[in-house]
């Protein structure tokens, strides 16, 4: 029996379970968000886009995602 381990994070103010071992980049993929259209704040620190793939998501992390909306 295979058990996928989950961790709890706070995403945009709401508790959420995600798979253990995700990076910020893979979390965005899972949420179907394009990294170029989102600013990520992890535990009150804004992350550089080029670093998303190297930053692990850990139990208890607070992540805020701010979406850019195009318009004219």
Q: Is residue 72 part of a domain?
A: no
Q: What does the pLDDT read at residue 68?
A: 75
Q: Is residue 1 part of a domain?
A: no
Q: How many domains does the structure of the chain reveal? A: 1
Structural domain harbouring 11: 6-67
Q: Is residue 39 part of a domain?
A: yes
Q: What does the pLDDT read at residue 67?
A: 85
Helix, strand, coil percentages for the chain (3-state, nearest 5): 20, 40, 40
pLDDT in tens, the chain (72 residues): 555 699 999 999 999 999 999 999 999 999 999 999 999 999 999 999 999 999 999 999 999 999 877 666
pTM: 0.86
Q: Where residue 35 sits, what CATH number does that domain have?
A: 3.10.20.30
Is 9 in contact with 16 (CB distance < 8 Å)? yes
């Amino acid at each position: 029996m295979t058990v996928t381990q989950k961790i709890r994070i706070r995403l945009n103010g709401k508790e959420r379970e995600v798979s253990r071992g995700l990076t910020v980049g893979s979390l965005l993929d899972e949420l179907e968000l394009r990294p170029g259209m989102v600013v990520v704040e992890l535990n009150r620190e804004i992350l550089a886009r080029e670093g998303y793939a190297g930053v692990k998501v850990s139990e208890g992390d607070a992540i805020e995602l701010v979406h850019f909306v195009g318009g004219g």
